[in-house]
Structure 1
């Protein structure tokens, strides 16, 4: 029993160390840019040695992907939770309001993610891993939407998930430039309303 107790304490300590490293890395990445940060700087910001780093991560890439996974899961939960229905029909205005109210629009995270996208674009192996993470985000959204009645304009749940993620990508690109979070939420609401209603199809047809 004493050994089991010690193992639990070690596990909790390791989890706390990992969480602290992730928090410190996020702060340093946001301030300096992903490509300009060393392992030593992350360790210094977290108050740990290189040994603590390497007991949790092999590389800065691996650490970043851990950050990405956390936020991807949060975004998936936010979007799919906001689109979940209590009844048989989708109340589009209410669903869009919920999405735009809760969706993560964090400037520091967008800076970190954009830095890493540029880095991944120049490294095929890193790009493949990032694409896999993005695919998991879309699948998480699609899995939830598959249990939700959708307007015909969206097609199947997978197509709807691609549309929702694309709308988010577009909004966050603008947000990086103008830093207008409230404007970004309003723009996202307009995009999702167009995507989630037949009106979006009608407008698109008139413009073709």
Structure 2
């Protein structure tokens, strides 16, 4: 079946199957880790046969890449939307509260960390990860630029782009601890303190 232009048309049923496989893979990868999961396990979790898998993905690597790309795009859009909802000025606690609701998903962090390790050994995967991180930084930098008319950033950060890099670095550090202790409230509190000190020269603590 084609779309009239010679290209295969994705049916609603196939799209549902693909979505179910991705959702099942997310749960299985988060629980066991990429590299410890078989195609059979993903199929069993999704309730599909190997045939259904191979009609959507050639390999487990391809599925993993598709899963990461889907989740990364969703997270980047949610971060941008969360930051856009905060009023004028640089209200650090309000920004952090909104963004951490999106970012502190431990299952996502586990999958993302697996992807990072995979990317460190594969240049194509590394480029995809770098592109995702660039989109996150740009969402943060855009919010900081819009706030600069009301709130000055510390000069040492070198403007909104430098501040965005520092914000992402702080987030990376906090989430590394979170992966070990699974204490989400403590991670949110610590990130809020770090970013308040970072973005306001420590002059605000709440």
Q: TM-score, normalization: structure 2?
A: 0.77
Q: CA deviation at 1:183?
A: 0.7
Partner in structure 1 of residue 51 of structure 2: 51
Structure 2 residue ranges without an equivalent (≥5) = none
- In the alignment of these two chains, the number of paired residues is 192
Checking the alignment, whether the CA contact within 8 Å between 2:170 and 2:194 is kept in structure 1 is: yes
TM alignment of 1:155-194, pairs within 5 A: 155-194=158-197
Q: Kindly indicate whether residue 113 of structure 2 is the aligned counterpart of residue 110 of structure 1.
A: no
Which residue of 2 is the match for residue 152 of structure 1?
Answer: 153
Distance 1:17 1:142, change over 3 A: farther
The answer on whether the counterparts of 2:178 and 2:187 sit within 8 Å (CA) in structure 1 is yes
- Distance in 2, Cα, partners of 1:146 & 1:60: 41
Deviates more, 1:149-158 or 1:30-39: 149-158
User: Do 2:140 and 2:164's aligned partners in 1 also have CA atoms closer than 8 Å?
Assistant: yes
Structure with more of its chain in helix, by fraction: 1
User: Could you tell me how far apart the structure 2 residues matched to 1:93 and 1:112 are?
Assistant: 27
Helix, strand or coil at the partner of 2:35: helix
Counterpart of 2:52 in 1: which secondary structure? helix
Say which SS state the counterpart of residue 119 (structure 2) adopts: helix
Stretch deviating more after TM superposition (180-189 or 144-153): 144-153
Residue 196 (structure 2) pairs with residue 196 (structure 1): no
Paired residues for 1:61-100 under 5 Å: 61-84=61-84, 85-87=86-88, 89-100=89-100
Equivalent-residue separation in structure 2 for 1:140 and 1:125 (angstroms)? 23
Compared CA separation, residues 15 and 138, structure 1 to 2 (3 A): farther
Q: Indicate if the aligned counterparts of 2:106 and 2:182 stay in contact, CA closer than 8 A.
A: yes
- Give the C-alpha shift of residue 148 in structure 1: 4.2
Aligned to 1:136: 135
Structure-2 separation of matches of 1:199 and 1:76: 27
How does the TM-score come out when normalised to structure 1? 0.76
- Farther-moved stretch of structure 1 (48-57 vs 29-38): 48-57
CA spacing shift, 1:93–1:133, aligned 2, 3 Å: closer
Q: Partners of 1:184 and 1:146 in 2: how far apart?
A: 26
* Alpha-carbon distance in 2 for matches of 1:141, 1:122: 28
Distance in 1, matches of 2:61 and 2:162, equals 30
